[in-house]
Amino acid sequence: MMKLAFLTDLHLNFLEKQERIEFYQTVIESSVDIVLISGDTAEAPSIHEILVEMKKAIDKPIYFVLGNHDFYRSSIRDVRENMAYLTKEVEGLFWLKSLGSQKLTEDIVLVGTDGFADGRYGNYEKSTVSVNDSYLIAELYQEKLYSKTKVLLKMQQLADEDAQQLYRDIEIGVNRHYPKKIIVLTHVPPFPEVCLYEGRQSDDAYLPYFASKAIGDVLLLVAKKYPSIEFIVLCGHTHHYAKEHVFSNLNVTVGEAHYYKPKIQDIIVL
């Protein structure tokens, strides 16, 4: 038996060190074997330090992907270079995008990618919503200087690249390990049905920033292609709990979150 702690949208940079230590203690007391984090652990200036701090405190393997906040006040390129370095240099810290499929047990494979909202759900052109991503992430801010359309194209490029990487990793995991279950860790929800606000599906103004159709399309494809494999998708981003039984072999869970109140979303027993 293996116990996994699912965490998301911790935003630990908002907490003082003692508050972070108290949160780590709750993870320690859960007696899990592995920690999974689906993004938004901190922000770029502090994410390296906080991940190392967490690993030392919890002393369990931590598999993670990055969320949009993890790139804030820096660039996607620089943060990803840092996380690739961290994965190589710090034992027990694993950025999934740089690793490919990971065999957890004889029957279970773990894959993950960061994931970006891609503006393909809802109505991006008519939306008056303004999100911090295009101000605090260098690549998106650069496109914002040109036009809203340029930002959309960049969002879709980033989402498509992550979706393609996820598909490759799933294919490798299937063909190499023949799993019965594949756990998929990503940040942005893949379907509108799990993008909730106050208990309802987000409207057309917010959906462009809350979901990744590119990731959703990959998940639908592999779930249909491999009906004997159970796909368990764990994500965050919206800060609102949601669960969707998409197919008989495809389940999506979105974790809830509140700033200053990080918590364990779920203990998964395999």
pLDDT digits (tens, 9 = 90+) for 67-89: 999 999 999 999 999 999 999 99
Is residue 140 pLDDT above 90, yes or no? Answer: yes
pLDDT category at 1 given cuts 50, 70, 90 is confident
Kindly report the CATH number assigned to the domain that includes residue 53: 3.60.21.10
pLDDT reported for residue 176: 95
Task: Give the residue-averaged pLDDT of 44-66.
Answer: 98
pLDDT digits (tens, 9 = 90+) for 225-240: 999 999 999 999 999 9
* Token pair in block for residue 7: 């965490």
Task: Give the residue-averaged pLDDT of 87-97.
Answer: 97
Number of domains in the chain: 1
pLDDT digits (tens, 9 = 90+) for 30-42: 999 999 999 999 9
d(CA 87, CA 101): 14
How much of the chain exceeds pLDDT 70, in percent? 100
Task: Give the residue-averaged pLDDT of 259-267.
Answer: 98
pLDDT digits (tens, 9 = 90+) for 165-219: 999 999 999 999 999 999 999 999 999 999 998 788 999 999 999 999 999 999 9
Range of the domain at 154: 3-269
pLDDT reported for residue 199: 84
